[in-house]
Amino acid sequence: MRGWFRWVVIALALAAAVDGAAQTVNLWPGVAQGSEKWTYKESSVNVPGTGTVLFNVVTPTLTAYLPEKSKAVGTGVIIAPGGAFVALAVDVEGNDVARWLNERGIAAFVLKYRIME
């Protein structure tokens, strides 16, 4: 699986480099293993001061935020937003952090992982 993950990251990096926007890919083709029988529906709420919070995430994804080439320092991180095992605070603990890192030349990859209430 490590080799597969590396190719996903490379594909994301190349796709994001083409148009400069964040790119998202599903980490699993079809339904993710272990959640074939889940009937949960993903939902989100906008929490003042926190931004978007996701619940019942069934489809794991990875979103690449790459810095401008002129700022890039050759470092990257994967960000796994928190939420006490029941939600994902994808803005304040994910996308906002990724943009902050980009301003400093660091590539960031926000992981949206499966959770359920």
Q: How far is CA 15 from CA 7, 9, 18, 37, in A?
A: 12, 10, 5, 32
**Residue 105: pLDDT band with limits 50, 70, 90:** very high
pLDDT of residue 32: 84
Secondary structure in 3-state letters for 71-98: CCCCEEEEECCCCCCCCECCHHHHHHHH
Looking at residue 112, what is its pLDDT? Answer: 95
- Measured CA to CA, the distance from residue 54 to residue 4 in angstroms comes to 26
pLDDT for res 35: 85
φ, ψ dihedrals at 12, nearest 5°: -60, -45
Residue 77 predicted with pLDDT over 90: yes
pLDDT for the residue 30: 83
- Mean pLDDT computed over every residue of the chain: 86
Q: Tell if the pTM clears 0.75, that is, is over it.
A: yes
Compute the distance between CA of residue 30 and CA of residue 69 in angstroms, rounded to an integer.
33
What residues does each domain of the chain span?
A: 2-112
Q: Which two tokens stand for residue 35?
A: 């959640």
Between CA 42 and CA 57 the distance in angstroms is 5
- Count CB atoms within 10 A of the CB of residue 26: 13
Confidence of residue 6 (pLDDT cuts 50, 70, 90): low
